[in-house]
Structure 1
Amino acid sequence: MRQEEIWDAETARRYDTPGTGMFAPEVLGPVVDRLAELAGEGAALEFAVGTGRVAVPLAERGVPVTGIELSAAMIEQLRTKAGEAVIPVVRGDMATTVVPGEFTLVYLVYNTISNLLTQAEQVACFRNAARHLRPGGRFVVELGAPDLRRLPPGSQATVWHCEPGYIGVDTFDVLRQHLVSHHFRFDDTRQARLYRSPHRYIWPSELDLMAELAGFELESRHADWTGSEFTAESRSHVTVYRIPEVTG
């Protein structure tokens, strides 16, 4: 599936869940707090800005935010919450699209870098972030840690979430570092709705090498937005990379 097919009008309409899930204050609040701190007095650029889940509250905090977004439907949904003057958006992919201006912060949240399905595209994304940042600027990536330890020998899939009306299943292609997340939603009838999204998972050490190739230095890695320690048991991480200051 192409990304344009995944992030279509139906997905854009269903994406926002105000006050719950990804939009719950206890989930979203720490994200915005940390990004506002990292942006400082400068401007921020969000790769794959989507419907503005993070960009809108970050702009409300006084941080100038620009977005790059591939999906016209997601941009249209964003425009119901913030106009072009508030959050300018350039339509395009996060690996190659360039926007005017210089930023102190570029950020990618909620596993979005894994939507790029080749290592080359992911490296290009890092390089694109670097070209937008001033010296000392930061690139923040929120990404799930590969969870292959839960994959039984000989198995190609794991159930990663199960609750009434919903089951989440990941299927793996370990040779290509690919997985497909399958989201099944159902009720008491025989009918179910399936949503799928393909990803290329990235090991933290591999992510650090991508950053180094683009001229970044690793500044910090934590298990969440509040600064919890990242360990072997962590399911995800928030990693901050930094462009070195010019010296001499």
Structure 2
Amino acid sequence: MTGTQKTSRQVQEEAAAEWDRYADIWDSWTPNDRRDDAEEAADFLAELANGGTALELGIGTGRVALPLAERGVKVSGIDASPGMIRKLREKEGGDKIGIYEGNFADVDVKEDYDVIFIALATLFVLTTQEDQVRCFANSAAHLNPGGRLVVQNIVPDLTNYQRGRYNDFDTTAPFRVSGRLAGHPSMAWFEMNTVDPTTQTINRTDVIVSEKGNRIIAATMRFAWPPEQDLMGRLAGLELEGRWGGWHQERFTFDSLNSVSVYRKPTE
């Protein structure tokens, strides 16, 4: 291990501190938003699981896990944030979800599953390529033969970060500001992102204005292109079974904004 490489425990602690700050407002981020696709995701995953078992990496407040459990799938999840887990436990049906607290790159669980899934670009929360590769490998190790790893991601579009396109600031790095109402008219959520394309790193600052008060939260993410993600799958011994532009199995094309990729573990 190099002197700058963090241990899995350090990564988990930093993630817990970072994402705990989102816990009490996270469910306001998706209602009335085009990304609120939990029911569609649950339908897609339930068909793959076929009444079996599923594990969500980065389960958060259970946005997808809870409707998936309602479809007869035995669901478990991993998350580093005690705050997110607490919110999940408070929801109806949350006590029926098996929860592991930890760094989801480790996939430190005792069972094997028919489906392991990562929703809403959560793979990008792992901020190094090494951790993302390790996540794929550990997921493959906990899949039953013929099981699937399902990864939903945004498709990176660096034209959103061209200098001067979205702002008039004199910055020396690709920069973007976006804002929208989040879930209800009493909250506004502004995202300010700076991107380093050489490391595929996004340094993100969220400014959240609401009647409960204002807050500023910083987060770091690392995006991965679909071909890079496919290589992670091959290194883990998984086969790309299919890729779509969304949970409705829309055709994946050059202008797709999202991807849903299914990787299958061979039976032999």
If the length of structure 1 is used for normalisation, what is the TM-score? 0.88
Partner in structure 2 of residue 50 of structure 1: 60
- Residue in 2 that maps onto 1:108: 118
**What residue number does 1:242 align with?**
264
Report the counterpart of residue 132 of structure 1 in structure 2: 142
Asked if 1 retains the 8 angstrom alpha-carbon contact of 2:203 and 2:218, the reply is: yes
In structure 2, the partner of 1:40 is: 50
Matches within 5 A, 1:196-211: 196-211=218-233
Query: CA offset at residue 194 of structure 1?
Result: 2.4
Task: Please report how far the alpha carbon of residue 23 of structure 1 lies from its aligned counterpart in structure 2 after TM superposition.
Answer: 9.9
**1:176 match:** 199
Residues 161-187 of structure 1: per-residue CA shift (max 9 Å, x gap): 456944323210112110023322347
- How far apart are 1:132 and its partner, in Å? 0.9
Q: Distance in 2 between matches of 1:106 and 1:36?
A: 12
1:50-129 correspondence to structure 2 within 5 Å: 50-81=60-91, 86-129=96-139
Structure 2: distance between partners of 1:6 and 1:18: 16
Matched, 1:17 2:18: no
Change beyond 3 A, Cα 1:167–1:100 = same
> Is this contact kept in 2: 1:216–1:241, CA < 8 A?
yes
Q: Which residue of 2 aligns with 1:157?
A: 175
**Cα displacement (A) at 1:158:** 2.0
Distance 1:142 1:83, change over 3 A: same
Deviates more, 1:98-107 or 1:26-35: 26-35
CA distance in 2, matches of 1:194, 1:159: 14
Counterpart AA for 1:178: T
Task: Kindly provide the amino acid, as one letter, of the partner of residue 174 in structure 1.
Answer: P
Give aligned-pair identity as a percent.
38
Deviations 1:52-89 (A, max 9, x none): 11111111111000111111111111111256761111
- CA shift, 1:15, in A, is 1.5
Contact 1:115 1:200 in 2 (8 A): yes
- CA distance in 2: counterparts of 1:54 and 1:20, whole angstroms: 13
Structure 1: which 5+ residue stretches go unaligned? none
Of residues 206, 212, 220, the one that matches 2:242 is: 220
**Structure 2 unaligned regions, length at least 5:** 1-10, 164-171
Q: 1:18 to 1:181 in 2, by over 3 A?
A: closer
* RMSD over equivalenced CA pairs, Å: 2.5
Match of 1:145 among 147, 155, 159: 155
Show CA shifts across 1:108-129 (max 9, x none).
0011110111101000000111
Moved more, 83-92 or 66-75: 83-92
2:89–2:95 Cα contact (<8 Å) kept = no
Tell me, yes or no, if the aligned pair for 2:78 and 2:107 is still in contact at 8 Å.
yes
For 2:37, what is the secondary structure of its paired residue? helix
2:252 corresponds, among 207, 230, 238, to 230
* Secondary structure at 2:25 match in 1: helix
Secondary structure of the residue aligned to 2:266 is coil
Q: How many residues align?
A: 242
Offset of residue 140 of structure 1: 0.5
The 8 Å contact of residues 23 and 53 in structure 1, kept in 2 or not, is answered as no
Alignment partners' CA distance in 2, 1:149 and 1:23: 21
Q: Cα gap change, 1:3/1:160 in structure 2, threshold over 3 Å: closer, same or farther?
A: same
**Residues 181 and 229 of structure 1, relative CA distance in 2, 3 Å threshold:** farther
